[in-house]
Amino acid sequence: MFSEHQPVAAFERRVTLAITGASGVQYGLRLLQCLLELNTQVLLMVSKAAQVVIATETDLRLPGSPDAMEAFLSEHFNARDGQLKVYGREQWMAPVASGSGAPSAMVVCPCSTGTLSAIASGASNNLIERAADVALKERRQLLLVPREAPYSEIHLEHMLKLTRMGVVVVPASPGFYQRPQSVEDMVDFIVARLLSQLGFEQSLLPRWGEAML
C-alpha cells in the first residue's frame, strides 16, 4: 500500500524535517543540505510562516507549491532523484501522517513557539503538527529547535512537558568556545548537535576534548 512511499534502497536513512516560522531558518536549510549529503532521504515540510522568514533572512525565493519547492530545493542542494520529498500543509496522505509510513526520526528546525504549542497539545491541525503527533504516539525520535528570547512560562512548560515525553529540545543557542569566524560556523554548531542526536558521524565541529582551534 505504501510502496511509493518506501525509502528508495539507494538511501541509507530517512528523516522527516519541518522548517517552521521561527528566526534561524538557516539552521533548517543547512541541516537539509547536510542530510542530503549524508545520503539520507528527507521528507520535508515548510510552513507558510517559514516561507516568509526564509524570504526575510536569506536570498532564497522558494516557490509556494510543494512540487515546485521540491524541484527547486533538489536542484539547489544537488539532491539525487527521489531523495527530497516536499509535502504541503494538508497533504494528509503523505507518509509522515501515519506511523506505518513515517521515518523513525523527525526534526523541527527551527521550531516556532506556535508549532511548539501545537505539538505539546497534540493539535494536528496541519501536516507538520500531525507528523510530530505521530512521532510522539509511536515513541519515535523527535528533535525540536525552538528560538525565542526571552521564553515565556508557556514556552518553558511546553518544552518541559515534551522533554518528559522523550522529545529532545535543542535550543538554537550556539556556543562560542570554538571561536566561530562566521555566521555559518554558528549555524554549524547547532546542526552538528542535531546530526549527532540523529546518530550521524558529523565533521562540522570537533568533539569536546579534540583540538578546537
Ligand X SMILES: Cc1cc2nc3c(=O)[nH]c(=O)nc-3n(C[C@H](O)[C@H](O)[C@H](O)COP(=O)(O)O)c2cc1C
**Number of chain positions touching ligand X (CB under 6 A):** 16
Nearer to ligand X, 132 or 205 (CB): 132
Nearer to ligand X, 23 or 197 (CB): 23
Give the CB-side neighbour count of residue 91, counting CA atoms within 13 A: 17
Tell me which stretch binds ligand X (CB under 6 A): 21-29, 63-71, 93-101, 193-201: 21-29
**Least distance (Å) between residue 149 CB and ligand X:** 8
Query: Is residue 148 a contact point for ligand X (CB under 6 A)?
Result: yes
Query: Is residue 88 a contact point for ligand X (CB under 6 A)?
Result: no
Cβ-closest residue to ligand X? Answer: 21
Angle between helices 183-197 and 25-37 (to 10 degrees): 60
Strand partners, 84: 42
Q: Which residue is listed with cell 549555524?
A: 187
Contact 46, 60 (CB under 8 A): no
Query: Is residue 115 a contact point for ligand X (CB under 6 A)?
Result: yes
98 is in an annotated binding site: no
Q: What is the rounded end-to-end Cα distance, in angstroms, of the chain?
A: 52
**Least distance (Å) between residue 151 CB and ligand X:** 10
- Collapse the DSSP code of 40 into the 3-class scheme (helix H, G, I; strand E, B; otherwise coil) and give the result: strand
List, as one string, the DSSP characters of 116-151: HHHHHHT---SHHHHHHHHHHHTT-EEEEEE--SSP
Residue from 47, 29, 37, 48 nearest 13 by CA? 37
Determine the residue type at 31.
Answer: L
Tell me which stretch binds ligand X (CB under 6 A): 16-24, 32-40, 76-84, 132-140: 16-24
82 is in an annotated binding site: no
**Least distance (Å) between residue 21 CB and ligand X:** 3
User: Applying CB under 6 A, which of residues 32, 42, 45, 50 lies at the interface with ligand X?
Assistant: 50
Q: Count other C-beta atoms under 10 Å from residue 205's C-beta.
A: 21
Strand partners, 86: 44
Tell me which stretch binds ligand X (CB under 6 A): 30-38, 44-52, 58-66, 99-107: 44-52
- Collapse the DSSP code of 200 into the 3-class scheme (helix H, G, I; strand E, B; otherwise coil) and give the result: coil
47 is in an annotated binding site: yes
Interacting residues toward ligand X by CB under 6 A: 20-23, 47, 49-50, 52-53, 56, 112-115, 147-148
Return binding residues for FMN. 21-23, 47, 112-115, 147
